[in-house]
Structure 1
Amino acid sequence: MSAGGSSDPRVQRQVHQQAGVAPSGPGGGTLFTEPVLVVNQKAKLIELTNEYKVMDQQGNQLGSVVQVGQSALKKILRFVASLDQYMTHKLEIRDAHGQPQLLLTRPRKIFKSRVLVQRPDGSPVGEIVQQNMIGKINFAINAGGQQVGAIKAENWRAWNFAIVDHADNEVARITKTWEGLAKTMFTTADNYVLQIHYQLPEPLLSLVVATALTVDTALKQDARGLG
């Protein structure tokens, strides 16, 4: 069951009106069984730690994503300089009870991003690897040494993404939604809606869920003026 019992009209508006996702039947109430996931970054005036709420399409909280392993020095460097891309980032995807479900690691990068996805016990799930730097950004979704899917930006600013399987069939879609201008002038908080078109097999399912949370970490951290 999901953590919250009441619906949130703001989240429903975000899903149906802003993201254009048609209402669908209820899922299984977990991060890996819902057809729609809503990912809302908790807005902070000065972003020193990334933190996200993950909800279903009704606004019930299913889990969270929390940045872990940040030292005080790292937080200071993030504040005084745009050094995010040169730092290693670690994120935990947690369920509604706070238990880790997936671990994401983005090693420090110079040009192209790479995100490693692991189970809580450290066993590998796969990785998400940036393929290009110019034009529409694409990522490969790899598992077991093979490409099992891809993430394709729909424009050069990389706001909306199609996720395809190994046969290039669209299996999911990420849509960025927008808050009012006054709310976003002093923060880079991001809100996304992930729509999964049908139940996916593992490890693709875990990698698609991780992808919706990785897009911001992989791209936006060093493209704040563009994103």
Structure 2
Amino acid sequence: MHPALRQNLFLVKEHVGFFKASNNFDVFDPATGDLLLHCREPNLGFFTKLLRFTDYKTMTPFDVEVTTPDGEPVVRVTRGVNLFLSKVKVLDEDNVCVGGFKQKMFSIGGAFQVLGVNDEPLCLLQGKWTGFQYKFVHGDQVLAEVNKKWNGLGKEMFTTADNYMLQISDVVPPDNPIRMLIIGAVFCIDMVLKERG
């Protein structure tokens, strides 16, 4: 696992554009303002770009590459054409599958089951339909939270509604591969759940 994923706080800022087909994000350390990661879709096909501007955008495939600012691969998140419920794969920096997510049916606010490499359930990503607030939970334990509200050191970096904070709990060890799945799922929230409508 790449060392860039070992910290617990990540500020995710989306690149906003009027005619923007691809999903592009930058990830910062909210304590220092340092740029940690780039998230890009460099291989977006022509027809996929066209469909991103239609009601079919949530059905389009994606292949998101998360890298360091120097271009070192960190995580890759992929999905094929989606007709009903999303199934997403997450790969590590060596393009080895480490698990993925499967969208849950009939969930209010959206939910993913986070799966290990053999499709074993690791935790659940749950959301609130009233706002951008998500939790990764395993039983009664919260492993991570994603929220648009933040009162910490990075508050001044929240300049638009397209920014949010990922906070990974101290119960998740710095070298636990579930961190790759949590980071990957953060981008899926935006592309699969919040882009509907």
Report the TM-score when normalising by structure 1.
0.73
Q: 1:83 aligns with which of 48, 52, 56?
A: 56
Residues 39 and 213 of structure 1 are in contact (CA less than 8 Å); yes or no, is this contact kept in structure 2?
no
SS of equivalent residue, structure 2 residue 189: helix
Offset from partner CA, 1:18-54 (integer Å, 9 cap, x none): xxxxxxxxxxxx5312210011001112221111000
Q: CA RMSD in A?
A: 2.3
Give unmatched runs, 5+ long, in structure 1: 1-29
Residues 114 and 218 of structure 1 are in contact (CA less than 8 Å); yes or no, is this contact kept in structure 2?
no
- How far residue 92 of structure 1 moved from its aligned partner, in angstroms, is 0.4
Distance 1:126 1:206 in 2: 9
The structure having more radius of gyration, on CA atoms, is 1
Give unmatched runs, 5+ long, in structure 2: 151-158
Structure 2 counterpart of 1:190: 162
Offset from partner CA, 1:33-85 (integer Å, 9 cap, x none): 22100110011122211110000113210011001321233223323x22212
Structure 1 counterpart of 2:153: none
Distance 1:136 1:216 in 2: 12
Q: 1:93 aligns with which of 66, 74, 89?
A: 66
Runs of 4+ in 1 over 3 A off after TM superposition: none
Residues 89 and 100 of structure 2 are in contact (CA less than 8 Å); yes or no, is this contact kept in structure 1?
yes
Q: 2:177 aligns with which of 191, 196, 203?
A: 203
Residues 85 and 108 of structure 1 are in contact (CA less than 8 Å); yes or no, is this contact kept in structure 2?
no
- How far residue 134 of structure 1 moved from its aligned partner, in angstroms, is 4.2
Q: 1:104 aligns with which of 74, 77, 102?
A: 77
Distance 2:131 2:97 in 1: 27
Residues 52 and 60 of structure 2 are in contact (CA less than 8 Å); yes or no, is this contact kept in structure 1?
no
Residues 54 and 63 of structure 1 are in contact (CA less than 8 Å); yes or no, is this contact kept in structure 2?
yes
Structure 2 counterpart of 1:146: 120
Residues 48 and 61 of structure 2 are in contact (CA less than 8 Å); yes or no, is this contact kept in structure 1?
no
- Give me the identity figure in percent: 24
SS of equivalent residue, structure 1 residue 73: helix
How many aligned positions are there?
184
SS of equivalent residue, structure 2 residue 71: coil
Structure 1 counterpart of 2:41: 67
Q: 1:51 aligns with which of 24, 27, 36?
A: 24
Distance 2:125 2:95 in 1: 24
- How far residue 158 of structure 1 moved from its aligned partner, in angstroms, is 5.4
Offset from partner CA, 1:109-154 (integer Å, 9 cap, x none): 222222110124331110111112342422111102311111111x
Distance 1:50 1:141 in 2: 21
